[in-house]
Amino acid sequence: QVQLVQSGAEVKKPGASVKVSCKASGYTFTTYGISWVRQAPGQGLEWMGWISAYNGNTNFAQKLQGRVTMTTDTSTSTAYMELRSLRSDDTAVYYCARSVELLPPYFDSWGQGTLVTVSS
Amino acid sequence: QSVLTQPPSVSGAPGQRVTISCTGSSSNIGAGYDVHWYQQLPGTAPKLLIYGNSNRPSGVPDRFSGSKSGTSASLAITGLQAEDEADYYCQSYDSSLSAHYVFGTGTKVTVL
């Protein structure tokens, strides 16, 4: 069965960077994209961006442009999301999700989430 | 604030039917873009409930159904059960936003 397993919780200081991993199994990694979605405490879902696991093409939410990088390692079927210059309002649970490519894509399998806390 | 507006909460007794609206505009739902729905149980990751406006993934009970008309979409839950108590989000595409892929504001369903 499809599984996405994310790295563990992180605590970072303002201005630092965080890199979250998402290891996929149960399907051919390169035939789907991976999207990243975050959820601040008590808030709704926010789409952050997408990466094609086939060719590495990316598409990011405008508000995160310049601060976010998404990469994949096809040898280990792992996707990564790095967020730089962290601020307190970046405190959230970060999810990776497998993207089925329609317009808009839908997210049919999700990781368990990674809590990133930004605090001085 | 999201461009897709949902009621903050809906409630119903076990066995009843509840509906959740997702109201957009001519740059998203009204432009013909598909709507997908997710269920998020407390403390867990979201789960795909409906894709392509009205399609259920394998394993999703047929108590859940989706529809779309004009600039809005709806999720209906018939025969409401205690385990349906969760947050529900719609998702679509907006051509006027740099974020492109947008989620609704979310609706908390309470089973009385």
Q: Does B37 touch chain A (CB under 8 A)?
A: no
pLDDT tens digits, one per residue of B64-93: 999 999 999 999 999 999 999 999 999 999
Structure tokens belonging to residue A99 = 């993207």
CB contact under 8 Å between B46 and A107, yes or no, is: yes
| Facing A44 at nearest CB: one of B47, B93, B105 | B105
pLDDT score of B99: 61
Tell me the nearest-neighbour CA distance from B69 into chain A, angstroms. 17
Question: Given a cut of 70, is residue B59 above it in pLDDT?
Answer: yes
Tally C-beta pairs within 8 A across A and B. 74
| Facing B34 at nearest CB: one of A102, A108, A110 | A102
Question: Given a cut of 90, is residue B2 above it in pLDDT?
Answer: no
pLDDT score of A39: 98
Tell me the nearest-neighbour CA distance from A44 into chain B, angstroms. 6
Q: How confident is the model at residue A103 (pLDDT cuts 50, 70, 90)?
A: confident
| Facing A113 at nearest CB: one of B45, B89, B102 | B45
Q: Does A44 touch chain B (CB under 8 A)?
A: yes
Bond into A104 cis (ω within 30): yes
pLDDT tens digits, one per residue of B34-57: 999 999 999 999 999 999 999 999
**Nearest-angstrom CA–CA distance, B80 and A45:** 24
Tell me the nearest-neighbour CA distance from B81 into chain A, angstroms. 23
Q: Which residues of A touch B104 (CB under 8 A)?
A: 44
Question: Given a cut of 90, is residue A56 above it in pLDDT?
Answer: yes
pLDDT score of B96: 84
B80 CB neighbour count, 10 Å cutoff? 22
Q: Are B92 and B33 in contact (CB under 8 A)?
A: yes
Question: How many degrees, rounded to 5, is the angle at CA A98 between CA A97 and CA A104?
Answer: 95
